Structure 1
């Protein structure tokens, strides 16, 4: 089915937040899948960085794994977490286009910034915080960033045509009818 022609459960385009196809998961199912796929990619990435540091400098290994894991996570989220529809023609193995990958990378960069900022603020106020405090701050910031990333991916990056607001078209060359002029004047 074409994403632009999806209808709600009531049959009217864009009138309900109910999933339009059986493959479109609800918010809770999407969040659980987001945690599973994102967490799985995160754990795998951690192991990959550790293995690659035997052959590459840490910064290079981390950068390489970050790019590959972001692409992989974006594809998994498109296919399973948000079920973004059939693969467009001309994308090869990838389900997502460049726009999806760049927007997803932006959300990952924002999440990285939130956790980094949280740790910098912690160390600005406490010169030697304990491991428990560091982990509490880091995991709290990571959870907050994860929820924000989930919302950005669900509501913006992978939103279907049904979920996005309809564009407002303005025709600046059309002359309003007398009835429209009278209605707006009163």
Structure 2
């Protein structure tokens, strides 16, 4: 018998570096964020501001998680349930940050203009977005080195036990 051929370990793709992924995050997330900033006051004309912010935050989080999985962090595929739930957690924190920022604005200035409200909302969104980037890059979409170091598991589809030989 001849020994089975050894297949070298294939490392998982590393994805873009921190600067490239931050630029992609800012472009994609920032673009969606600006659109969200325009959508919130439009929806707030028909419902309470916090409810409008929640609807827009949920929709933009789903969209951004998919965009970040595919393009920002170089996964080349959509996000799974785990990534969506983890991203939703960081989005909930961002939602609270924007709500608190606008609430404080309304405490300090009971009738702010639309431009002032937008500046506060987008400023809070920008700060929260930076925190989200760190969470997504370091936790949600991080390449797990222990998985990257292991060879991919072979599937035995023939139903025949695999032969193990010493090299």
Which band: TM-score by shorter chain? 0.5 to 0.7
2:151 — aligned with what? Answer: none
8 Å contact kept, 2:54–2:95? no
The answer to whether residue 108 in structure 2 is matched with residue 137 in structure 1 is no
Q: Pick from 33, 52, 62 the counterpart of residue 71 of structure 1.
A: 62
Displacement of 1:70 in angstroms is 2.3
Q: Pick from 16, 40, 50 the counterpart of residue 31 of structure 2.
A: 40
How many residue pairs get matched? 135
The 5 A counterparts of 1:2-41 are: 6=11, 21=14, 24-41=15-32
Task: Work out the CA distance in 1 between the residues paired with 2:21 and 2:124.
Answer: 21
1:23-43: CA deviations, max 9, x gaps?
A: x11111111101111133345
How big is the alpha-carbon RMSD for the aligned residues of Structure 1 and Structure 2?
3.6
Displacement of 1:67 in angstroms is 4.0
TM-score, length-scaled by structure 1: 0.56
Displacement of 1:64 in angstroms is 6.2
Task: Work out the CA distance in 2 between the residues paired with 1:114 and 1:129.
Answer: 18
- Structure with more of its chain in helix, by fraction: 2
Mark the runs of 5 or more structure 1 residues left unpaired by the alignment.
Answer: 8-19, 88-94, 165-186
1:171 — aligned with what? Answer: none
Mark the runs of 5 or more structure 2 residues left unpaired by the alignment.
Answer: 1-8, 148-167
Question: Higher relative contact order at CA 8 Å, sep ≥6: structure 1 or structure 2?
Answer: 2
The answer to whether residue 66 in structure 2 is matched with residue 83 in structure 1 is no
Task: Work out the CA distance in 2 between the residues paired with 1:45 and 1:121.
Answer: 20
8 Å contact kept, 1:30–1:81? yes
